[in-house]
Amino acid sequence: MLRFTDEHEWLKLDGEIATVGITQHATEQLGDLVFVELPKVGAALIKGAAAAVVESVKAASEVYAPLDGEVTEVNDAVAASPETVNADPQGSGWLYRMRLKDPAAMETLMDEAAYAAFTQ
């Protein structure tokens, strides 16, 4: 299940673990990323609170926790090579994985069609 937030994060659910990143639209708005700061494994995230930071040649932007949960894994490859996020934001450019407190809360987020309409 793939879902999107109005802050331009995407989530892909696998069981109770969601992989989280920023959308293609977000990378286009930011431009070339030069720095990525990831959350710590084990960090408790609250929906809407800052979870990570991405910095481009244009600006630094916070990446917000899309739902409540705990960070289970981070993508160290994007910290080492931030351009990976620009090249493949919804693939190898994922930022972190989190165990959702309530996986059913995914239903409150936008699906692909709703997100596409939102970004128009």
* First CA to last CA distance, the chain: 22
Burial code of 90-116, b = ≥16 C-beta within 10 A, e = fewer? beebbbbbbebeebebbeebbeeeebe
From CA 23, how far away is CA 56, in angstroms rounded? 15
pTM of this prediction? 0.95
Domain span at 45 = 2-102
Residue 112 lies in a domain: no
Which tens digit of pLDDT belongs to each residue from 14-47?
998 999 999 999 999 999 999 999 999 999 999 9
Number of domains the chain is built from: 1
Whether 7 maps to a domain, the answer reads: yes
Query: Does the pLDDT at position 116 exceed 90?
Result: yes
Which among 94, 119, 108 has a CA at the least distance from the CA of 47?
108
**46, part of any domain:** yes
Q: Is residue 120 part of a domain?
A: no
Mean of per-residue pLDDT scores for the chain: 96
**Quick one: pLDDT band at residue 58, thresholds 50, 70, 90?**
confident
Residue 96 in domain: yes
State how far the Cα of 35 lies from the Cα of 12, in Å rounded to an integer.
23
Q: Is residue 110 part of a domain?
A: no
Per-residue pLDDT band for 85 (boundaries 50, 70, 90) equals very high
Burial class (CB in 10 A: 0-12, 13-18, 19+), 35: exposed
Work out the percent of the chain whose per-residue pLDDT is above 70. Answer: 100
Give the CATH number, domain containing residue 17: 2.40.50.100
